[in-house]
Each structure stands twice: as C-alpha cells, then as structure tokens.
C-alpha cells in the first residue's frame, strides 16, 4: 500500500493536473486511495501539458523526449512521452518478465 501512496505523492508534487485534482485533500498522507477520482481518457487529452511531470518539462521544451500517439481506436487519440532512462527501465523489466514466463512454461 505504501507504494501506491508514494505514486500519489509523486504525482501530486510533479504533475499540475494531479495537484489540482488532489488539492481538496488536506493531508496528502491521509488520502484514502479508494476515494481517488477516476481519470478518463478525455480528461487526459484535454489537460494536455498539465499531465506532464515537471521532471520532463526541460526535455519536452528541448524536444528530446520520445513520444507515441495512440491510434484513437476509441475515438480519442493521445500522446505518451518518455525519455531514454524510462525506455531502458521498461526494456529491462520486459526482459525479466519474459524470462520468468519462459522459465515457468519450460
């Protein structure tokens, strides 16, 4: 449960969208995770850069982030951004999961 609280705190401190969303909470540490509002795709799209973590703003402005635009098969497409470190972490985790699956079914 602590991991989820850390994610919520990180989002609050670095993402303007979540700062605005969570401002109703008096104490961030006392947030009941079951009462957090659900964020839908339309909110994500209309919020634009408000969804971007402050950690990525310099890279976004320098146009060095990698990005992907979803196909919009649900009627709404949106862009996802990441940097090389995120990509390496994802790739490493993907390899570990793949090896675990292969080991399990071997």
- pLDDT per residue, tens digit, the chain (106 aa), is 778 888 888 888 899 998 888 876 656 666 677 777 788 888 888 888 888 888 888 888 888 888 788 888 888 887 888 888 877 777 766 666 666 666 666 5
Global pTM? Answer: 0.65
HSE-CB for 80 with a 13 A CA cutoff: 9
Q: Which residues contact 49 (CB under 8 A, 6 or more apart)?
A: 60
Strands (E), 1-106: 66-69, 79-82
pLDDT of amino acid 25? 61
Q: Are 80 and 70 in contact (CB under 8 A)?
A: yes
- State how far the alpha carbon of 46 is from the alpha carbons of 51, 55, 92, 94, in Å: 9, 20, 32, 31
How would you classify the pairing of strands 79-82 and 66-69?
antiparallel
């Amino acid at each position: 449960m602590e991991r989820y609280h850390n994610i919520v705190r990180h989002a609050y401190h670095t993402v303007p969208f979540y700062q605005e969303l969570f401002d109703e909470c008096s104490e961030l540490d006392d947030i009941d995770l079951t009462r957090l509002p659900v964020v839908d795709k339309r909110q994500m799209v209309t919020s634009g850069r408000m969804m971007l973590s402050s950690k990525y703003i310099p890279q976004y402005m320098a146009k060095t982030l990698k990005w992907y635009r979803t196909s919009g098969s649900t009627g709404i497409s949106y862009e996802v951004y990441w940097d090389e470190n995120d990509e390496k972490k994802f790739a490493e985790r993907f390899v570990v999961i793949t090896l675990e699956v292969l080991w399990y079914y071997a």
